[in-house]
Structure 1
Amino acid sequence: MPQPALMIFAKQPLPGQTKTRLLPDYSPEQAAAIAEVMIRETVGLAVSSWPGDIYLCGAPDTDHPLFEELARDFRLRLLDQTGADLGARMLAALRFGIERHGAAAVLGSDVPHCRWDVLDEANAHLAKGRNVLGPTEDGGYYLIGLTEAHDALFARMPWGGATVLEETLARAAAIGLHFELLSRLRDIDTAADLWLIGRGYEPLMRFL
């Protein structure tokens, strides 16, 4: 039986196009450097914790030296994000992974401080046919794992708002879908998030 796949979502770390909520506390170049560290650390976490295939899903595509380097060094598979919005892109990636591996999870690159055992738990749930969600403190989620792709969980979702997790769980209940919940984490979006996480997370301390 194939192992569940992990799809890491990451934007190309380009100044002015990534981690824009860190501005103006950080310059566009600093924000891009922070994004690069977060992507590298997320990949390192995944490679050390996830037993199945790992895909690095780049936006707007994977044509970036960082993605190519990580794919080469860690033997990752590269996959372009495709779709009109975040929901469509996640759904497409999950469908791709589920069709090939039986189950798949999308992991954002905003929680590089996630513990290895959290990913191990997510993989264990998926391997047993259970769906899984990793909640964030701001009302969203950092990971979603499914054994079957469901459009209803992603279409016309208010992405970036404080009700994403609540709405996802409500939609899941409406179609008879159950999620196992992982540990709640703070994702790094703002300068305040960076300060709170970075004090205890060595890879980001130099940016404080």
Structure 2
Amino acid sequence: MDQKNRDTAVLIFSLSARREAERKRLFGGGKKQGAGEFFDILIGRTKKLASASGADVYFIDEGKQRGHTFGERYANAFQDLFDKGYSKVVSIGNDAPELNAETLRKAIAEMQQNDLVVGPSTDGGVYLLGLNGSLFNTDEFLNLPWLQDSLCDALAKSVYWQQGGSFSLDFFSDIDDTASLLQFVQRTSDRFLVDFILIHLFRSKVSCGHRVAITFIDVHPSFLTLRGPPNTQTYTESVRKAA
């Protein structure tokens, strides 16, 4: 292990794929299996990139989380790692497939010079949060607007969180619903995930000989080649009917 990273832990704060599929109906209410498989893929990728970071990695899902609210569970996860002797913790989730090993290593490197490292997400939250233990305060942590689109601004504007040096990474998007899933498909060059997503979104359904949803084959060739904005009306109607 790289000597300079022995004081840093990577926290993967996540729900299991099953729980994520119950909470986020990405492919429609009746397609939990597809959503579960999707999050299985994302969790596996997240663990792999974390393992390549040069820091110790801890995966804390609902079986290990403690607390009644998200903020309490998240605060306890940070505190547990500080209690293990790590002076710096970099936390990531499972729902930002654009996050890569290079960005994570950069976050860890920046933690050697800064007390706060933030990976801002396009929805106003954060996909990565790095904290120095000297900056961590449970009360201040719990006062942050967790699971709200004002979280990143709260970190940027709070005097408490800005008392140490801080660094902001590039903006990435996280996947919370079908709309953000479709936005990801338009941006990414990850053919494997695009194929998986489109297959599960646009499976044909036939009722009385009438096709009620466009198929993967209808969408896939031109969608991947042109990558332009889809026909909003057709796209939205297809998603609604396929759900």
TM-score (normalised: structure 1): 0.79
Q: Stretches of 4+ moved more than 4 A in 1?
A: 172-175
8 A Cα contact 1:3 1:127, kept in partner: no
Change (3 A) 1:152 1:21: farther
Q: Please name the residue that 2:18 is paired with.
A: 14
**Does 1:207 pair with 2:193?**
no
Which residue pairs with 1:56 in the alignment?
A: 59
- Name the aligned partner's letter for residue 202 of structure 1: R
Segments of 5+ residues of structure 1 without an aligned counterpart are 62-79
**Stretches of structure 2 lacking an aligned partner (at least 5 in a row):** 199-243
Q: Structure 1, residues 31-65: CA drift from partner, whole Å, max 9, x if none?
A: 111111111111111112x1110001111x1xxxx
1:42 matched residue in structure 2: 46
Structure 1 residue 142: deviation in Å?
Answer: 0.8
Distance 2:161 2:49 in 1: 34
Does the 8 A contact of 1:5 with 1:52 survive in 2?
A: yes
1:183 counterpart residue number:
170
Structure 2: how far apart are the matches of 1:17 and 1:25?
Answer: 10
Separation in 2 of the partners of 1:150 and 1:15?
29
Two-structure CA RMSD over aligned residues (Å): 2.3
Q: In the aligned structure 2, how far is the partner of 1:51 from the partner of 1:3?
A: 11
Q: Which segment is superposed worse, 189-198 or 165-174?
A: 165-174
Q: CA offsets per residue over residues 115-174 of structure 1, 9 Å max, x none?
A: 222111110012335321110000000111111222244314333221111112223547
Question: Percent identity of the aligned residues?
Answer: 23
Partner residue, 2:155: 168
Aligned-pair CA distance for 1:202: 3.2
1:195 aligned partner: 182
Aligned equivalent of 1:93, options 53, 74, 77: 77
Conserved in 2, the CA contact under 8 Å of 1:19 and 1:35? no
Structure 2 distance, partners of 1:95, 1:16, is 24
CA–CA separation in structure 2 for the residues paired with 1:88 and 1:200: 36
Change (3 A) 1:165 1:183: same
Structure with greater contact order relative to length (CA < 8 Å, sep ≥ 6) = 1
1:18 touches 1:35 (CA, 8 Å); kept in 2?
no
Paired AA for residue 36 in structure 2:
A
In structure 2, do the counterparts of structure 1 residues 200 and 130 end up closer, same or farther at CA, with 3 Å as the change threshold?
same
Residue 113 of structure 1 contacts residue 201 of structure 1 at CA under 8 Å; is this kept in 2? no
Normalised TM-score (structure 2): 0.69
- Size of the aligned set, in residue pairs, is 188
Bigger Rg, which one? 2
Evaluate the alpha carbon distance shift between residue 145 and residue 195 of structure 1 in structure 2; reply closer, same or farther with a 3 A threshold.
Answer: same
Q: Indicate which of 131, 144, 160 corresponds to 1:146.
A: 131
Q: For the structure 1 residues 195 and 177, does the alpha-carbon distance in structure 2 shift closer, same or farther, using more than 3 Å as the test?
A: same
CA distance in 2, matches of 1:16, 1:113: 18
